[in-house]
Amino acid sequence: MKQMIHEGKTPNDPEVQKHTEAMLSFMRPKVEPLLDDEAKKQLMDNKGSFEEPNPYLFPSAFNKKEEKFMERVMDELIRCKINFNRTNSRKL
C-alpha cells in the first residue's frame, strides 16, 4: 500500500481498492479473535469502527499523510460497496 501511495495512486484506483480488500480479508480473521470484550463492545457501539483506535491494539505502520490516504481509501471502498448494493437491489 505504501508503494501505491508513493506512486501517487488515488483512493478510487481499482488496484488500490483491490489491494485494500485483500488486506482487510487477510487481517479480519487474525485480528477478531484477539479483541477483548471491551474492544468488541466498542466496535458494536460504533457500527464496526473504533471512535478512537487504541494505538496498542492497532499500531499503525503508516505516517499521518498515509493514514489520511487510507481513510480516503476506506471511505471510497464503503461508497463503492453501498452503490453496488443499491444497484443490485434495484435489479431484483
The whole-number pLDDT of residue 55 equals 60
Q: Whole-angstrom Cα distance, residue 16 to residue 62?
A: 15
**Domain range summary for the chain, segments of one domain joined by +:** 2-91
Is the pTM value of this prediction over 0.75?
no
Which of 60, 74, 92, 91 has its CA nearest to residue 24?
Answer: 74
- What are 8-61's pLDDT values in tens digits? 999 999 999 999 889 888 877 777 776 677 666 766 666 555 555 566 666 777
Contact between residue 26 and residue 33 where contact means Cβ atoms under 8 Å apart: no
- What are 59-90's pLDDT values in tens digits? 777 888 898 998 899 888 888 877 666 666 66
